[in-house]
């Protein structure tokens, strides 16, 4: 009897292998390679973005030096334009909060907002500050520059107060120095990153997916939800608006969404999956419905952002319902990315042993 059972089992296995194997030989999808995806992300997204950020920062430093030598409004305007370009470029870097960016705490020191203006003012007037200390994390970075470059008396302060100018140039210098460290670390981290194709939580692919999702949710909450009052019983909190002084908030949100969509498509300038990215992986897994939904949702989000005519703060005061709609669009995409896409990739998110439930 046992012998029969054994035979029966072998027959079943053989039968299933053959039938399943023959099911659709014609539409064989090409093999997908995560190593290729990681290689593409490193070569065509991370490193060029770091270089772009580097170039924008250098331009900012240069224009600030020109402004320092000749403190006119016209020169300050050039600094402001360069700062905007730098802050926009940062929206891509901030996604990659792992490896060298994480080790050097680069995301926190460069991108934390809102800034503590009281702390900034006291640093400037008292001197003797240590920009690297944890207590100054809200007094540094691109958001602090938003305040220093745009607050109502900015030009006067630059003209009349040397400490104010020094502080500003030190903030720029700090980002440049940290970027140099991150940049060189990424050059050597690159090969580790590309080789780490496993499914464990510490693998580069898992990190990339997790940070992609985390950054998406961070944009949803920090750039939009918190100022709109989504976490404060509907009480709007304008003091939490990113880049409030420059009124550059919508642009930054737009850049953040475009960067995330670019990473998703494996091509930073793409909205259609032209590079080897998550989109192509989903297509390979025969999930084109999901893949296309994600891109069209990104497109709707960006179109919605473009529909606003005024600054975020003005829209918030007068046009909350439209912003709520934008928020809902962004929130709907979380389900696509965090739940559907992540589970399609079979990425594990827990560090502990697991038995699949």
Partner 1 sequence: MMGISSLVSKTDSIYKNTSIAPLIIFRIIFGALMLFGISRFLYKGWVQQLYIDPQYHFGYYGFEWVNPLEGSLMYIPFVLMIVASIFIIVGFLYRYSAFVFFICFTYVELLDKTNYLNHYYFVSLMSFLMVLVPANRYFSIDAMLWTRIKRTTTQQWHIGILKFQLAVVYIFAGIAKLNSDWLLDAQPLKTWLQAHHNIPVVGGLLQEEWVAYVFSWFGCGYDLFIVFFLLGRKYRKYAYVFVVVFHFITWCLFPIGVFPWVMIFSTIIFFSIEFHEIVLNWFLKLFKQSALVVEDVKSIDKRKLTLYFVSLYVVIQLLVPFRYVLYSGDLFWNEEGYRFSWRVMLMHKEGYATFYLVDSKTGRESEINNAKFLTRTQEDQMATQPDMILQYAQILKNHYDGKTLHYGNSHFKINNPEIHARIYVSLNGRRSQLFVDKKHDLTTLKYDLKHRNWVEPFKK
**Contact status: 152 vs partner 1 (CB under 8 A):** no
Q: Decide if 138 contacts 115 (C-beta within 8 A).
A: yes
Residue 127 phi, psi dihedral angles, 5° rounding: 65, -170
Using DSSP, state whether 95 is helix, strand or coil. Answer: coil
Using DSSP, state whether 268 is helix, strand or coil. Answer: coil
Segment 217 to 246, residues that bind partner 1, using CB under 8 A: 221, 225, 229-237, 239
CA 272 from chain center: how many Å? 19
**Contact status: 283 vs partner 1 (CB under 8 A):** no
| Contact pick of 7, 13, 55, 118 for partner 1 (by CB under 8 A) | 13
Segment 191 to 220, residues that bind partner 1, using CB under 8 A: 197-200
Q: Whose CA is closest to 52, among 87, 77, 81?
A: 87
Category of 264 on φ-ψ map: left (φ > 0), alpha (ψ -120 to 50) or beta = alpha
Q: How far apart are CA 336 and CA 228, in angstroms?
A: 23
Residue 260: exposure state from Cβ atoms within 10 A (0-12, 13-18, ≥19): buried
For partner 1, the closer CB: 140 or 326: 326
| Contact pick of 4, 26, 31, 318 for partner 1 (by CB under 8 A) | 31
**Contact status: 342 vs partner 1 (CB under 8 A):** yes
The interface mask with partner 1, positions 289-328, x = CB under 8 A, is xx--------------------------------------
For partner 1, the closer CB: 128 or 234: 234
**Contact status: 357 vs partner 1 (CB under 8 A):** yes
**Contact status: 32 vs partner 1 (CB under 8 A):** yes
| Contact pick of 9, 43, 62, 317 for partner 1 (by CB under 8 A) | 9
Alpha helices (H) along the chain: 2-22, 34-40, 47-69, 73-93, 99-103, 106-111, 117-126, 141-150, 154-160, 162-195, 204-218, 226-228, 249-265, 278-284, 288-306, 312-318, 320-334, 342-345
Q: How far apart are CA 129 and CA 175, in angstroms?
A: 16
For partner 1, the closer CB: 58 or 197: 197
CB of 118 to partner 1, least distance (A): 17
**Contact status: 102 vs partner 1 (CB under 8 A):** no
CB of 335 to partner 1, least distance (A): 5
CB of 236 to partner 1, least distance (A): 8
For partner 1, the closer CB: 2 or 74: 2
Task: Give the total of residues touching partner 1 (CB under 8 A).
Answer: 57
For partner 1, the closer CB: 64 or 345: 345
Residue with structure tokens 């939904």? 293
Footprint on this chain of partner 1 (rule: CB under 8 A): 2, 5-6, 9, 12-13, 16-17, 20-21, 23, 31-35, 197-200, 221, 225, 229-237, 239, 285, 289-290, 331, 334-335, 338-340, 342-357
């Amino acid at each position: 009897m046992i012998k029969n059972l054994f035979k029966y089992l072998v027959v079943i296995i053989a039968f299933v292998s053959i039938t399943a194997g023959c099911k659709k030989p014609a539409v064989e999808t090409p093999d997908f390679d995560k190593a290729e995806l990681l290689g593409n992300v490193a070569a065509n997204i991370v490193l060029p973005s770091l270089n772009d950020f580097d170039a924008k920062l250098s331009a900012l430093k240069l224009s600030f030096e020109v402004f320092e030598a000749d403190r006119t409004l016209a020169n300050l305007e050039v600094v402001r334009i360069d700062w905007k370009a730098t802050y926009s470029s940062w929206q891509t870097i901030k996604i990659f909060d792992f490896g060298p960016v994480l080790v050097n705490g680069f995301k926190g020191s460069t991108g934390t907002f809102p800034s503590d203006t009281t702390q900034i003012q006291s640093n400037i007037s008292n001197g003797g500050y240590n920009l690297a200390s944890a207590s100054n994390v809200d007094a540094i970075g691109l958001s602090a520059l938003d305040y220093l470059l745009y607050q109502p008396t900015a030009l006067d302060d630059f003209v009349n107060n040397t400490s104010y100018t020094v502080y500003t140039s030190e903030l720029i210098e700090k980002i440049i120095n940290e970027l140099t460290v991150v940049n060189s670390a990424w050059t050597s981290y690159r090969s580790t990153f590309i080789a780490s194709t496993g499914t464990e939580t510490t693998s580069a692919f898992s990190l990339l997916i997790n940070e992609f999702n985390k950054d998406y949710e961070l944009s949803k909450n920090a750039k939009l939800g918190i100022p709109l009052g989504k976490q404060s019983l509907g009480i709007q909190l304008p003091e939490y608006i990113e880049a409030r002084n420059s009124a550059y908030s919508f642009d930054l949100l737009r850049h953040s969404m475009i960067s995330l969509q670019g990473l998703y498509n494996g091509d930073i300038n793409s909205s259609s999956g032209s590079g080897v990215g998550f989109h192509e992986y989903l297509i390979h897994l025969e999930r084109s419905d999901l893949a296309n939904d994600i891109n069209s949702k990104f497109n709707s989000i960006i179109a919605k952002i473009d529909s606003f005519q005024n600054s975020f703060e003005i829209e918030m005061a007068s046009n909350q319902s439209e912003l709520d709609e934008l928020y809902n669009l962004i929130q709907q995409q979380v389900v696509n990315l965090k739940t559907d896409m992540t589970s399609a990739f079979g990425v594990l998110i827990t560090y502990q042993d697991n038995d699949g439930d």
